[in-house]
A and B are shown apart, each in its own frame.
Chain A
Amino acid sequence: SYVLTQPPSVSVAPGQTARMSCGGSNIGGKNVHWYQQKPGQAPVLVMFHDSDRPSGIPERFSGSNFGNTATLTISRVEAGDEADYYCQVWHTDTDHVVFGGGTKLTVL
């Protein structure tokens, strides 16, 4: 089975840059999507196809995907960005949706 590995937590001060990684074998060859989940709420898509933002998502959010690591970057972090972030791919070999374990972003 295909595994996506995310660090459990990332902490950053307001105004700084948060980088959250998502590791997987040759993940650079897949389309990676990212979801933000705030407590008690359903996940919300914040990045798709590695680096495309859905409408309504601030330009502060950006993404990249090379080799074995995809990264979601949030610039000028705000208190409202504090949430859990999940990466997700479609694994064609098994026709499975795969989620990473999630990263909790804490804004200090």
Chain B
Amino acid sequence: QLQLQESGPGLVKPSETLSLTCTVSGGSISSNSYYWGWIRQPPGKGLEWIGSMFHTGNTYYNSSLKSRVTISVNTSKNQFSLKLSSVTAADTAVYYCARLYSSAWLFDYWGQGTLVTVSS
């Protein structure tokens, strides 16, 4: 059974960079059928797609966040990561990592999510 687990600081200061890692177990991040991505959800609000990356490096980013986002993949560790720069309080959210099945462009496995608060 595939599992995804987010990790990283739960508190980030304004103007700094948010960094999260997603560790994948029970399957290979190098599979040719899947992208690996990040979705966030501000408290009490809906889902917002951040971006998704293929293991070879091909990446899609939400244009509203593109200037601040970097997603990278570490195939040797079966992990992928998110960096979001110049954060503000508006970036406070639960951040989910998820597997994107590229034949249908749907998210079939999700991590449990991690709350990141931006505050001084």
Contacts and interface: CB of A to CB of B under 8 A. Distances in A.
Nearest to B37: A97
Contacts of B112: 41-42
A43 to B, nearest CB: 6
Interface residues of A, number: 26
Given A94-B63, A101-B46, A45 B108 contact: yes
Q: Please tell me the size bucket of the interface on B.
A: 20 to 34
Task: With a 10 A CB-CB cut-off, give which of A41, A88, A94, A97 has the most chain B CB atoms.
Answer: A97
A106 to B, nearest CB: 16
Nearest to A90: B105
Given A1-B63, A42-B96, A97 B49 contact: yes
B117 to A, nearest CB: 16
6 contacts: A37-B47, A45-B108, A86-B46, A88-B107, A97-B49, A97-B100
Interface of A: 1, 31, 33, 35, 37, 41-45, 48-49, 54, 86, 88-90, 94-102
